[in-house]
């Protein structure tokens, strides 16, 4: 796969006013989400829910692609259209989560490393055949007493870079996601420092592994005070700190940065993205790859009557996509 083709896909993922919907919850995570609203976590309910999301009318107005889970990329609509085909037919790029989740980092209590490199080349080859054109791997960095350690940050960066190199070899754009977790009583400056060190380590590893940045997308967390810190940061403070941190660590050759929502409210996730884009021009397009901040409202609505509420839930997905698409341009109007 040529770098030009990878770069073309990467640029399409962050096309002006468009972002990604993350629906790559593993079965354990989607069970938690379904349990929260009283939906039984059967394979058919997971399929029906993912169909609802992907078949939302005119979703591609604001959505360039979706990250799927292994089970989902093998599933089809009720009428038998494979989800990857449904997406491609509607102008959206299929993506696939390829990490195998986080595991305790031996010797470092409280810290985790993401696994999944063994056999990855063959899995990527299969996902490409199934229609995927980008992949995602998420590393988790926790903040707490004396953590994160440099060892944890570097181990995760190394795995992300090895994954990214394999993706490019197999023709998939790697979305690299080092998530600095919001939980904890740390202040916003600590989150800034941890995010800065994490991104420095990541880009050093990507360079060492010969990853072409022109064919790579960063999925970043925002710089926020810890959820139990009792601190409040204004929308402008979060946006300014996040932008400053990214500008001092992320090369301008990267085609784009998309954010995760990480447990922020729907409105906060949209407002922060909007503020960052209003503060531009920035070196790269800044867009979204939200999971919860794209889905929560729709899931709640659907759960009230899964047979009858499909269209209503889809209207909610469209509304969230529209708000975030406008925020990706710095044109979101809270009141509208």
Active site residues: 177, 219
Is residue 266 at the binding interface for ligand 5MM, with CB under 6 A as the rule? no
| Residue 262 near ligand 5MM by CB under 6 A | yes
Q: Which stretch binds ligand 5MM (CB under 6 A): 79-87, 224-232, 291-299, 310-318?
A: 291-299
| 12, 18, 19, 25: residue in contact with ligand 5MM (rule CB under 6 A) | 25
- Would you count residue 270 as binding ligand 5MM (CB under 6 A)? no
The region of 103-111, 163-171, 240-248, 290-298 touching ligand 5MM under the rule CB under 6 A is 290-298
- The yes or no reply on residue 251 touching ligand 5MM (CB under 6 A) is no
The DSSP element (H or E) to which 320 belongs, if any, is helix 310-327
Please, which residues have CB within 8 angstroms of residue 70's CB and are 6 or more apart in sequence?
96, 97
15 phi and psi angles, rounded to 5 deg: -55, 150
Selected binder of ligand 5MM within 1, 8, 11, 26 (CB under 6 A): 26
Whole-angstrom CA distances from 36 to 53, 300, 329 are: 18, 9, 33
Instruction: Pick the binder of ligand 5MM from 148, 256, 291, 325 (CB under 6 A).
Output: 291
CA-wise closest residue to 124 among 181, 78, 169, 59: 169
Distance CA 47, CA 69 (A): 11
Q: How far is the CB of 269 from ligand 5MM (least distance, A)?
A: 7
Based on the shown chain and the rule CB under 6 A, indicate whether residue 24 belongs to the binding site for ligand 5MM: yes
By the rule CB under 6 A, 227 interacts with ligand 5MM: no
- Considering only residues 113 to 152 of the shown chain, the ones binding ligand 5MM according to CB under 6 A are 138
Residue 260 binds to ligand 5MM (criterion: CB under 6 A):
yes
- Contact between residue 295 and residue 53 where contact means Cβ atoms under 8 Å apart: yes
Is residue 76 close enough to count as binding ligand 5MM by CB under 6 A? no
How many angstroms separate the Cα of 247 from the Cα of each of 11, 102, 200, 240, 241?
19, 28, 11, 10, 10
Please select the residue that binds ligand 5MM; options are 34, 290, 302, 332, rule is CB under 6 A. Answer: 290
Q: How many residues of this chain interact with ligand 5MM, rule: CB under 6 A?
A: 16
Instruction: Report the distance separating Cα 328 and Cα 287, nearest Å.
Output: 5
Which of the ranges 5-13, 21-29, 86-94, 227-235 carries the binding residues for ligand 5MM, by CB under 6 A?
Answer: 21-29
Ordered DSSP codes for 85-136:
HHHHHTT-EEEEE----EEE-TTSTT-EEE---TTHHHHHHHHHHTT--EEE
Binding site for ligand 5MM (CB under 6 A): 22, 24-26, 29, 67, 101, 138, 179, 260-262, 290-293
């Amino acid at each position: 796969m040529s770098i030009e083709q990878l770069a073309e896909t990467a640029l399409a993922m962050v096309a002006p006013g468009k972002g990604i919907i993350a629906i790559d919850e593993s079965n354990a995570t989607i069970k938690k989400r379904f349990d929260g609203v009283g939906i039984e976590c059967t394979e058919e309910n997971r399929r029906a829910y993912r169909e609802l999301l992907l078949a939302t009318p005119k979703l591609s107005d604001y959505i360039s692609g979706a990250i799927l889970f292994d089970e989902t990329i093998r599933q089809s609509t009720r009428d038998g259209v494979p989800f990857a085909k449904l997406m491609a037919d509607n102008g959206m790029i299929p993506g696939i989560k390829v990490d195998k989740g986080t595991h305790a980092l031996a010797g470092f209590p409280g810290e985790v490393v993401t696994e999944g490199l063994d056999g990855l080349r063959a899995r990527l080859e299969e996902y490409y055949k199934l229609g995927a054109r980008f992949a995602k791997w998420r590393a988790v960095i926790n903040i707490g007493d004396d953590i994160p350690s440099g060892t944890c940050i570097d181990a995760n960066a190394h795995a992300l870079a090895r994954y990214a190199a394999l993706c490019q070899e197999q023709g998939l754009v790697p979305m690299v996601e080092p998530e600095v977790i919001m939980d904890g009583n740390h202040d916003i400056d600590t989150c800034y420092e941890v995010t800065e060190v994490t991104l420095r380590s990541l880009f050093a590893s990507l360079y060492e592994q010969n990853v072409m940045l022109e064919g790579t997308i960063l999925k970043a967390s925002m710089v926020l005070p810890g959820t139990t810190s009792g601190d409040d940061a204004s929308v402008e403070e979060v946006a300014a700190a996040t932008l400053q941190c990214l500008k001092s660590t992320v090369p301008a050759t990267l085609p784009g940065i998309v954010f995760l929502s990480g447990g922020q409210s729907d409105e906060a996730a949209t407002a922060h993205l909007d503020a960052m884009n209003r503060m531009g021009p920035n070196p790269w397009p800044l867009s979204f790859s939200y999971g919860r901040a794209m889905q929560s409202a729709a899931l709640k609505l659907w759960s009230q009557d899964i047979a009858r509420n499909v269209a209503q839930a889809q209207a909610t997905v469209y509304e969230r996509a529209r708000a975030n698409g406008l925020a990706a341009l710095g044109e979101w109007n809270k009141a509208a």
